[in-house]
């Protein structure tokens, strides 16, 4: 009986994803070709997890940037003041 499913030959990254998402117990158990639909599901799941991690990292970055900005305001620093100081030093060196 012929199979109507397309087969995908997994590369090293695909093999690692198949193990991480528990489709196979280890890399040695992965056959030479796997079902294309299963591979699409695994890569889509990895893509979603990657996007969620990047969103979380961005949110954490925003949080720390806001804290750094508030501390700079408490110290009296501002972009305008830094620019004025830079030009004073630059003009003084000429």
What distances in angstroms separate CA 64 from CA 46, 72, 76, one per listed residue? 27, 12, 18
Number of domains within the chain: 1
Q: Which domain holds residue 74?
A: 7-93
Q: Is residue 11, in this structure, part of any structural domain at all?
A: yes
pLDDT in tens, 17-27: 999 999 999 99
Spatial separation of the C-alpha atoms in residues 21 and 14, rounded to whole Å: 11
**What value does the mean pLDDT take over residues 47-68?**
98
Would 12 be classed as within a structural domain? yes
Average pLDDT over residues 5-25: 95
Give exposure, 48-72, as e/b (b: 16+ Cβ within 10 Å): eeeeeeeeeeeeeeeeeeeeeeeee
- Please report whether residue 30 resides in a domain: yes
Q: Does residue 2 form part of some domain?
A: no
pLDDT, mean over the chain: 92
User: Cβ distance 21 to 44 under 8 Å?
Assistant: no
Q: Is residue 1 part of a domain?
A: no
């Amino acid at each position: 009986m012929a199979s109507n499913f397309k087969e995908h030959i997994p590369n090293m990254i695909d093999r690692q994803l198949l193990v991480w998402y528990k489709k196979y117990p280890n890399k040695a158990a992965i056959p030479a070709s796997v079902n294309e639909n299963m591979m699409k599901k695994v890569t889509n799941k990895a893509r979603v997890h990657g996007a969620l991690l990047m969103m979380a990292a961005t949110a954490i970055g925003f949080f720390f940037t806001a804290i750094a900005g508030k501390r700079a305001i408490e110290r009296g620093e501002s972009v305008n003041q830094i620019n004025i100081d830079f030009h004073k030093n630059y003009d003084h060196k000429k």
